[in-house]
Chains A and B, each alone.
Chain A
Amino acid sequence: MSEFKTIDARNTFCPGPLMELITYMKQAEVGDMLELLSTDSGTASDVPEWIDKVGHEMISSEKIDDVWHLKVRKLK
């Protein structure tokens, strides 16, 4: 069983993948792990930049069949 809550932000332009991730981060508890799915190539750099700046943890980032899978952990 996956410990990650999946956020399906594929094929979306507004509010967009990072805004979706921020929404779910606000709802999550410290320690929760989220997996963001995105077809927007900009997500691969946008999400790590925000995660780094705000102080959460970037677990992994990989592209599988044209979909970015970005796994993060809420730290605060």
Chain B
Amino acid sequence: MRILVVGGGCGGTILANNLARRLAGEIRSRKVRLTMLSASDKHMYQPGLLYVAFGQMMPDELYRDQQSLLEPSIEFHVDPVEAFHLDQNRVTTKSGRSHEYDVLVIATGSRIVPEEVPGLVEGSETFYSEAAAVKMFKRLREFEGGKVAIVVGVPHKCPIAPVEVTFSLHDYFKTRGIRDKVHIKYHYPIGRIHTIENVAKWAKPEFDRIGVEYETLFNVREVDVENQVVKSEEGTETEYDLLISIPPHRGMPVIERDQLGDGGWIPTDRYKLTMEGHDNVYVLGDTTNLPVSKTGSAAHFEAEVVAENISSIIKIGTPVRDYDGKVYCFIEAGHDRATYAMFNYENPPDLKAPNKSMHWFKMSYNKMYWTSVRGLL
């Protein structure tokens, strides 16, 4: 049995480590071979980018060597997939190699595409890459006051990020003693200030309390960089001195190129996590087209289900459980308080008031992630 995991991010790594332990005997006796292909020899803790953007973490804290995170029984290659040949149960890679499989897991993740919105690359700061987060922090340090606008592309990874960055901006300028010189305006694509109703109900009075203006039903259409105006699909516009964007995202180019899914999102069974029409192909995390948050948390819980099911299929011939849509997200409510949202397909999140303990739990998790991604937590 050849299991091939494509993608060494959060979901792929948790899955591979979980499988390696569940199938330790089968791998030792060579009944199972577990291989991972990744585009990078480094693994990034992506949630840390928000902290880099506010000077609270250094970029080098975000990385570990991918090989060091993997169980030794996993065969690891830095060799990204260039083409999926699902009808032949094989992939070909950048180096020209062909890898055949019996079970394939696609966990290639997503990428930002700010270039799809005219002016967004030149006109806005963001924190969705290391370079961008560092650049954003330098820009914040130089900022002495004026109009700050936050805009949100669709779809985007980490749905909590828009409110988190807004609270962080408030706290950052307050700490610098210039909050009274900064006007913060938050823009959001749908008709309330967050897609999760309970988050919106909590964040709205918080925004009112800290003096953040908001405009809903604002889907960013273009940025007039010269005149420093951001315009919406809905026909409104906002002037800014500093524009912060949550860029729109797409799946990886290879997914679109091979026509596995529109926008790079692969049609996936929401319970089995198999690719539609392909029972031996599983899809994890951002790569799915599921109506589930694109977060490491979703990828984590999905990976546990898929690992358990692949393992049970090998051992007893049948999967043992479904993915229930579980997601757990920390929500930073500034620089010293946090709360969380936990939900699944059936149960909405019941938001608790932010507190310092949850913030410190999140700060701890920023370190504990490396245990989590090894599949130990």
Residues of A within 8 A of B (CB): 8-9, 11-20, 22-23, 26-27, 42, 46, 49-50, 53-55
Chain A residue numbers with a CB within 8 Å of B346 are 11
Write out the residue numbers on chain A whose beta carbons fall within 8 Å of the beta carbon of B343.
Answer: 13-14
Are A15 and B195 in contact, CB atoms less than 8 angstroms apart? yes
Q: Look across to chain A and name the residue whose beta carbon is closest to the beta carbon of B154.
A: A22
Contact B262 A12 (CB under 8 A): no
Interface core residue of A13, A16, A26, A55 (most chain B CB under 10 Å): A13
Chain B residues, Cβ within 8 Å of A20: 291
Q: How large is the interface on B (under 10, 10 to 19, 20 to 34, 35 or more residues)?
A: 20 to 34
- B345 in contact with A53 (CB, 8 Å): no
Residues from chain B with a CB closer than 8 A to the CB of A26 are 154, 248, 263
Q: Assess the B293–A15 pair: CB atoms within 8 A.
A: yes
Determine if B190 and A46 form an interchain contact, defined as CB atoms under 8 angstroms apart. Answer: yes
| Interface pair B191/A49, CB less than 8 Å apart | yes
Task: Look across to chain B and name the residue whose beta carbon is closest to the beta carbon of A17.
Answer: B291
Main DSSP-derived SS at the A contact region: helix
9 more contacts with CB within 8 A, not counting A13-B349, A49-B191, A54-B233, are A9-B291, A12-B325, A14-B159, A15-B293, A46-B190, A50-B191, A53-B235, A54-B219, A55-B235
**Is the C-beta of B146 less than 8 angstroms from some C-beta in chain A?**
no
The interface residues of chain B lying within 8 Å CB-to-CB of A23 are 154-155, 263
Q: A22-B189, A46-B191, A54-B233 known; A13 and B348 CB under 8 Å? A: yes
When chains A and B are docked, how far (Å) is the Cα of A11 from the Cα of B290?
11
| A75 CB to nearest B CB, Å | 12
Question: Could you tell me the distance between the alpha carbons of A53 and B248 in the complex, rounded to whole angstroms?
Answer: 21
The answer, among A11, A15, A42, A49, for a CB contact under 8 Å with B159, is A15
Q: Which residues of chain B in 248-273 are interfacial with respect to chain A, using CB atoms and an 8 Å cutoff? A: 248, 262-263, 270
The reply to whether B262 and A8 form a contact with Cβ atoms under 8 Å apart is no
**A49, B190: Cα distance in complex, Å:** 10
Provide the bound-state CA to CA distance between A23 and B291, in Å. 11
Residue pair A50, B190 in contact (C-beta under 8 Å) = yes
Could you list 29 examples of A-B contacts with CB < 8 Å?
A: A8-B291, A9-B291, A11-B345, A12-B325, A12-B345, A13-B195, A13-B196, A13-B343, A13-B348, A14-B159, A14-B196, A15-B294, A16-B190, A16-B196, A17-B291, A19-B159, A19-B189, A22-B189, A22-B190, A23-B154, A23-B155, A23-B263, A26-B154, A42-B197, A50-B217, A53-B234, A54-B233, A54-B234, A55-B235
